[in-house]
Structures are given as C-alpha cells and as structure tokens.
C-alpha cells in the first residue's frame, strides 16, 4: 500500500542543537517530495522540495533534506535549531500521475532553552 511515514510523533530538542526529522515513503516510483511546516493555527508553509537531480536540497530557514532512494527516505535536517522552529512538520509526497499530495501524520517539534 502507498504510504508516507513519519515515525516520530513528538521530538524535543535544546535550542542550538541539531535536528533530524524522519520521513519514509512507500510508492512504486520515486515521487516528488516535500517538507511543510505548520505553526499553530496557521496554514502550511513549504520548506523545501525534491523533484530530481542533487539528492541534497536546501530550503528556507536553514533547513535541508536528503533524498535516499535505497532507503525510500527524505529526512529533514537543521544544524542548529532556533526557538522559533517549534512547530509541526509534515512530509508530503506527490506520486507520479497523482492529482494530489499525500501527507505523513506530522512530527511536533518542541524547542527548550
């Protein structure tokens, strides 16, 4: 079955620490891949996207993600987390030929001083 998995429901990190949020997908072909961030009561803001080419993509706010075909993963990373990064993060995939995006269940990030 096609799916998007974010195995970590909630992650807590200290400000200044590094961050990695995991995302795995299960589709027949390599889909388009996205990371969105959602602050409380807000809509989704696109952080970065992968379509093809270089497997390490840079996004806004200092985020990056690496596509690993062998692991069907697209993990989001940031070397030094800021308190303002506290939010919900969603991984999404757009399978070839699909009319829409499929979202993971999200990872809630808490940043402690």
Partner 1 sequence: NAGVMQNPRHLVRRRGQEARLRCSPMKGHSHVYWYRQLPEEGLKFMVYLQKENIIDESGMPKERFSAEFPKEGPSILRIQQVVRGDSAAYFCASSPQGPSGLNQPQHFGDGTRLSIL
Using CB under 8 A, list all residues that contact partner 1: 4, 32, 34, 36, 41-46, 49, 51, 90, 92, 94, 97-106
Distances (CA, A) of 19 to 6, 12, 39, 83, 100: 14, 9, 17, 12, 28
What's CA 22's distance to the chain center, in Å? Answer: 7
Pick the closer one to partner 1 by CB: 1 or 113: 1
Pick the closer one to partner 1 by CB: 9 or 69: 9
CB of 17 to partner 1, least distance (A): 25
């Amino acid at each position: 079955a096609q799916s998007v998995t974010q195995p970590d429901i909630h992650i807590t990190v200290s400000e200044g620490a590094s961050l990695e949020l995991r995302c795995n997908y299960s589709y027949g072909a390599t889909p388009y891949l996205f990371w969105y961030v959602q602050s409380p009561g807000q809509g989704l803001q696109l952080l970065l996207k992968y379509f093809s080419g270089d497997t390490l993509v840079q996004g806004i706010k200092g985020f990056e993600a690496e596509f690993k075909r062998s692991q069907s993963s697209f993990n989001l990373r940031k070397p030094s987390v800021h308190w303002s990064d506290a939010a919900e993060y969603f991984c999404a995939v757009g399978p070839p030929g699909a009319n829409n995006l499929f979202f993971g269940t999200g990872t809630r990030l808490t940043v402690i001083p």
